[in-house]
């Protein structure tokens, strides 16, 4: 039996319309003749959401008692017995009541998928495990219900349900999200414009990473080696010299010019250990890259330019930053440097920027002064 497929509607905050979108998709599929059921949908007494659920078959919920209170949960066994083609299951990160077969709803969904049932679900970005601390910092609210990012990323389709902060606050004011007695407090705290804008940006960037992940998988599956630039991914080539700090900071500024830009740093370790750069300097530069939100990579290769280009294509880099040569004019006259070789091999798909730095200038002046001093002595 083929495993079912998962589709997830991702939102930045409560009230953007994830459940509504899930139910609307259920209607579209049912209208095309697909066997669809509502396994669990939470309308929170929102009239528009409740009306959208009308006309769809709903599997009755199971009732569980915990600490003298009664709770209604999705009846997993009933959904499995009904075995629809598509099950609509709201709130992917929900924690089930103790006594349920699984601790988390996403585990219930995994069982449905294993049974060959397609599932459409919903989740807010603040419930993604990797973003828990970030959301807490922004909103001051710690989310206790989370779902591992990998569960969501394994979905065949992820659709962002987007809404501006202003529109969401208007929806709140009109009573379409919370009851009247909670609106004022919500607008003054969690639903502040700054909070919502930050959460929206996080959701957009997280979704962009998902797009990048799918694109990378497609390139590998189809043997495509040329980079496809969906956003700026800047690769900084570190020689191990002191100019690396300048390159890293320039790379960060370049990556930050567009939404979702990313900076990576790479150092090529030659097979000849005697030529390796001093470790303390590279360790300091690694720390700087990571402090600026980038990633550091050490690779091996006899030919640095070739290794840099190969790595750039592997990570789908859109730009390469490399430092201006510190070699003497005489050496540059008789042989090409790494920068020139990288430029020649980059083709039309990767932009290469040669960045001037004080080390190149001072090094050239020092060499000129050295030649002049040597000439005086010879005279």
Q: What is the CA radius of gyration of the chain?
A: 28
| Neighbouring residues of 60: CB distance < 8 A, sequence distance ≥ 6 | 75, 78
Which of 201, 177, 202 is CA-nearest to residue 187? 177
Q: Could you tell me the residue range of the domain that residue 53 belongs to?
A: 6-221
* Residue 376 belongs to a domain: no
Pair (52, 118) in one structural domain: yes
Pair (211, 340) in one structural domain: no
Q: According to the model, what pLDDT value does residue 27 have? A: 97
DSSP calls for 149-192: HHHHHTSSEEEEE---HHHHHHHHHTTSSS-HHHHHHHHHTTT-
Pair (107, 214) in one structural domain: yes
How many domains does the chain fold into? 2
pTM of the predicted structure, to 2 decimals: 0.62
How many Cα atoms sit within 13 Å of 207 on the Cβ side? 20
Pair (130, 168) in one structural domain: yes
CATH of the domain at 265: 3.40.50.620
Tracing tokens 């139910």 back to the chain, one arrives at 23
Q: Count CB atoms within 10 A of the CB of residue 307.
A: 20
Q: According to the model, what pLDDT value does residue 269 have? A: 86
Q: Extract the residue ranges of the chain whose pLDDT is less than 50.
A: 274-277, 329-335, 360-379
Angle between helices 244-255 and 279-291 (to 10 degrees): 20
């Amino acid at each position: 039996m083929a495993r079912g497929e998962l589709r997830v509607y991702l939102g930045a905050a409560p009230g953007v319309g994830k459940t509504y979108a899930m139910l609307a998709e259920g209607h579209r599929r049912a209208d095309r003749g697909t066997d669809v059921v509502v396994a669990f949908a939470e309308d929170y007494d929102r009239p528009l959401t409740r009306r959208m659920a009308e006309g769809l078959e709903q599997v009755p919920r199971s009732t569980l008692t915990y600490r003298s209170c009664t709770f209604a949960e999705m009846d997993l066994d009933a959904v499995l017995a009904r075995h629809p083609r598509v099950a609509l299951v709201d709130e992917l990160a929900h924690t089930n009541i103790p006594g349920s077969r699984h601790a988390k709803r996403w585990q219930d969904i995994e069982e449905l998928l294993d049974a060959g049932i397609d599932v459409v679900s919903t989740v807010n970005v603040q419930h993604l495990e990797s973003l828990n601390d970030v959301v807490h910092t922004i909103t001051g609210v710690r989310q206790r219900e989370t779902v591992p990012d990998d569960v969501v990323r394994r979905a065949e389709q992820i659709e962002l349900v987007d809404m501006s902060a202003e529109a969401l606050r208007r929806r709140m004011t009109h009573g379409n999200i919370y009851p009247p007695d909670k609106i004022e407090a919500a607008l003054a705290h969690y639903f502040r414009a700054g909070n919502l804008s930050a959460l929206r940006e996080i959701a957009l960037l997280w979704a962009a990473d998902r797009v990048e992940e799918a694109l990378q998988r497609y390139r590998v599956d189809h043997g495509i080696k040329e980079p496809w630039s969906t956003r700026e991914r800047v690769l900084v080539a570190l020689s191990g010299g002191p100019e690396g700090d300048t390159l890293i900071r320039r790379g960060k500024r370049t990556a930050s010019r567009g939404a979702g830009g990313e900076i990576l740093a790479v150092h090529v370790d030659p097979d000849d250990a005697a030529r390796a750069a001093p470790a303390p300097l590279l360790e300091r530069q690694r720390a700087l890259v990571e402090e600026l939100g980038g990633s550091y990579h050490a690779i091996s290769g006899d030919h640095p330019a070739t290794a840099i280009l190969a790595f750039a294509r592997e990570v789908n880099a859109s730009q390469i930053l490399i430092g201006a040569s510190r070699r003497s004019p005489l050496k540059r006259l008789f042989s090409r440097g790494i920068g020139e070789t990288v430029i020649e091999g980059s083709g039309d798909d990767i932009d290469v920027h040669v960045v001037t730095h004080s080390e190149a200038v001072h090094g050239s002046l020092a060499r000129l002064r050295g030649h002049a001093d040597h000439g005086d002595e010879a005279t």
